[in-house]
Structure 1
């Protein structure tokens, strides 16, 4: 069913039950208008997050913060989901990979959550900030070298830069050897693009990585998770890696692309630093727009509405951050008071590394291409028409072509450190679920010369 705007500009609901549809081109072209209409209904309202999938969407900052900070009343385990248990959610629904249960810290509560999250946070706590910045800069240099010599002086920032950059950084942080790094990138890229079999590619590559680290531990995130005192099983390690990888890729891609476009726009004040552009992106264009489904343990009253036990309550980070009631107090709030990284016990444990990666990526672009500019205005850019993330489709740029060579002196591959913001995306659950046991030595090799292999060769001056 297609949604239409009525004469007042208010989104019309689904004819079956008058819910606002939070998907499709009309939502993608004007999410703010949809959020404004929903706010007029109260701090929360029912919406269709996908065809045939109804959730309660929280658009109020205060209400969202209340839910995020009350884990005894609002839990994350989606095995409680009434409609799913009653067979009322289409089996091919795009909401299932985003909201369906998986054994990781995001979808766990109580002691199970504490155990898994501690393993993740302790592993992330060892991140070397200087190394992370250098690794991001090196990845940026490589990607820019691939398009900056284009004779036309043109590139597409999302596909050429914002999307592959986090994947290069994560392949290093996870301690991937070249061939496995290539397969991880092929798998996660394929998941985002809907490529058949991509989830199996990712799951298989991560299973082999875990088996490798059992034999030969390293100074990397995978090894730290495996050696943590929480004693995660190999399957649990794989689920955490899938979540970290899929969650770090999409939000960081969105943050890098939007922050770059915002900084290059005519609306941006030239004397403000890159950090401000990233902060404004997190406030006004939250990369994770609508997510974090919670399930009330009992019926709860919220703003005059009854939230039924075990019906999903989704937080609109995008709407909460731009809540008009909050705007008048924004100057008194900390720059970090936004909900882009969540809040409460399930808040992103890697928000600081994620912020550093985004800032370093934008700064590297500006330093390497000092005359870079967009070929269209910021207002002309199109957004992905999905409810889960706020990401630009394309960011066309132009610049003076330049010759960028590989490093003249060989450099060792950097040691793996840290990770980025957890969040799930389409296919991530299937990747973990379908991951085979460690593959035998005669397993078919993946195509040689992939992105990570070429990157490592470039760092060595080859």
Structure 2
């Protein structure tokens, strides 16, 4: 049934400006209506992305593409941000961790951006698809083994599968030894959960990983970044790793969860190929819903509105993908023409690996649990109340309980140098007899996963 959107219901808390508060949970309950209202104001409109933080939100596909593909006029360096420089952004604003400047490819322009991005794209290009598929399937098998034998035949797939799976894959790709991988996962999970001190935990773990790879290079993504001809400093390597983690794991979690929910319809498994389910999720429920702040280098007219130089413009990837003006010629577009991965020089450099991970994560789930069902209809699933992302809160499922055997450790596909150093980098992770009866600290997720792959 068509919902009738009342913009005053959402705008009532902001009488001075009348902006829609994109962070208001009520907006999330009727996003389609919210986007339709914003579209009625033009290709872009002012919204509050956080308390006392106004941005211009682009909801038009054509306007979004125009901005994304014109880096000379619309730059990414947030040190230009007028309101921030004038002290009008609260120091504790939740917008700052998302929009504040960091020395990485995401917030750089021109030659600085080209240098950092080349290091990232070249390093990612060395990942073989067969390796990525194996790592994803192995991570999936481990996570499924943790809940598949539940006698109730029930699981909550966001927290037990969609969220940890990308973290396991990325920790493996980065070449983390067990203890560092555990802290990387705790840090990045804490950042998205809002845990105090989580960014320090992540930064310290990655700094230790980089120092380790200086001493013991290996065949992994961290070493490739460090050895790239761009000659990144350790600080630059750290910030690229943080960007890959934060920009990769959370969107993948959302894509895996939404794609699984779309595939598992109320009538059971649909005939929709998994690749199509993932593409549909990227088109209709862009994991990064509203992001990619741009700053005009001069005043720009867009759809009759004047966008001031150095005022932030955010792209609503979700609204752009579902732009009604796009519907008429959607069939003529490539299946990959969605903007879920961005476009232009700042498009996600890991879009192909991300798609491979998402597809194989969903396929592994369906293959291992052939009678898997979502316990509630898709339209009743709740979404995380944040303006930045489009991710399910929970995905309750049921299945016939079964045992999933431990994996047999396979030779590393990353080459002999990695295989010879990976488990010997820390003496406390080497195999050997128990020394004392002293209690050992509980192993983290990555340590438990690695032990499982070795049949321990």
- CA distance 1:271–1:389, shift in 2 (3 Å): same
SS of the aligned residue for 1:292 comes to strand
Aligned partners of 1:162 and 1:253 also within 8 Å = yes
Q: Which moved more, 1:304-313 or 1:267-276?
A: 267-276
Aligned partners of 1:172 and 1:415 also within 8 Å = no
Q: Which moved more, 1:263-272 or 1:225-234?
A: 263-272
SS of the aligned residue for 1:371 comes to coil
Q: Is it true that 1:97 corresponds to 2:97 in the alignment?
A: yes
Q: What's 1:58 paired with?
A: 58
SS of the aligned residue for 1:27 comes to helix
Q: What's 1:430 paired with?
A: none
Structure 1 residues 43-442: aligned runs within 5 Å? 43-266=43-266, 270-407=270-407, 409-412=408-411, 415=414
Aligned partners of 1:179 and 1:448 also within 8 Å = no
Aligned partners of 2:268 and 2:373 also within 8 Å = no
Aligned partners of 2:162 and 2:254 also within 8 Å = yes
- Consecutive unaligned residues of structure 1, counting only runs of 5 or more, are 417-440
Q: In the TM superposition, what whole-angstrom CA distance separates every residue of 1:234-255 from its partner, at most 9, and x where no partner exists?
A: 0000000001011111100000
Q: What's 1:459 paired with?
A: 453
Q: What's 1:450 paired with?
A: 444
- Consecutive unaligned residues of structure 2, counting only runs of 5 or more, are 416-426, 428-439
* Higher RCO (CA-CA < 8 Å; seq separation 6+): 1
Q: What's 2:430 paired with?
A: none
Aligned partners of 2:7 and 2:34 also within 8 Å = no
Looking at structure 1, the residues matched to 96 and 64 of structure 2 have their Cα atoms a distance apart, in angstroms, of 22
Query: Cα distance, 1:59 vs. partner?
Result: 0.3
Query: Cα distance, 1:289 vs. partner?
Result: 0.3
Aligned partners of 1:58 and 1:314 also within 8 Å = yes
- CA distance 1:335–1:100, shift in 2 (3 Å): same
Q: In the TM superposition, what whole-angstrom CA distance separates every residue of 1:131-184 from its partner, at most 9, and x where no partner exists?
A: 101110000000000001101000000000000000000000000011111111
Query: Cα distance, 1:190 vs. partner?
Result: 1.3
Aligned partners of 1:6 and 1:12 also within 8 Å = no
SS of the aligned residue for 1:57 comes to strand
Looking at structure 2, the residues matched to 9 and 136 of structure 1 have their Cα atoms a distance apart, in angstroms, of 46
- CA distance 1:82–1:279, shift in 2 (3 Å): same
Query: Cα distance, 1:187 vs. partner?
Result: 0.9
Aligned partners of 1:412 and 1:459 also within 8 Å = no
Aligned partners of 1:175 and 1:415 also within 8 Å = no
Query: Cα distance, 1:7 vs. partner?
Result: 5.3
Query: Cα distance, 1:272 vs. partner?
Result: 1.8
* TM-score normalised by L of structure 2: 0.92
Aligned partners of 1:156 and 1:394 also within 8 Å = yes
Q: What is the aligned-residue RMSD (CA, Å)?
A: 1.8
Query: Cα distance, 1:267 vs. partner?
Result: 7.8
- CA distance 1:414–1:205, shift in 2 (3 Å): farther
Q: What's 1:423 paired with?
A: none
Looking at structure 2, the residues matched to 184 and 226 of structure 1 have their Cα atoms a distance apart, in angstroms, of 18
Q: In the TM superposition, what whole-angstrom CA distance separates every residue of 1:15-70 from its partner, at most 9, and x where no partner exists?
A: 12100110121011111111100000000000000110000000000000000000
SS of the aligned residue for 1:72 comes to coil
Looking at structure 1, the residues matched to 185 and 257 of structure 2 have their Cα atoms a distance apart, in angstroms, of 19
- CA distance 1:233–1:267, shift in 2 (3 Å): farther
Aligned partners of 1:156 and 1:397 also within 8 Å = yes
SS of the aligned residue for 1:338 comes to coil
- CA distance 1:413–1:448, shift in 2 (3 Å): farther
- CA distance 1:229–1:245, shift in 2 (3 Å): same
Looking at structure 1, the residues matched to 298 and 6 of structure 2 have their Cα atoms a distance apart, in angstroms, of 39
Q: What's 1:432 paired with?
A: none
Q: What's 2:34 paired with?
A: 34
* TM-score normalised by L of structure 1: 0.90
SS of the aligned residue for 1:204 comes to helix
Aligned partners of 2:255 and 2:281 also within 8 Å = yes
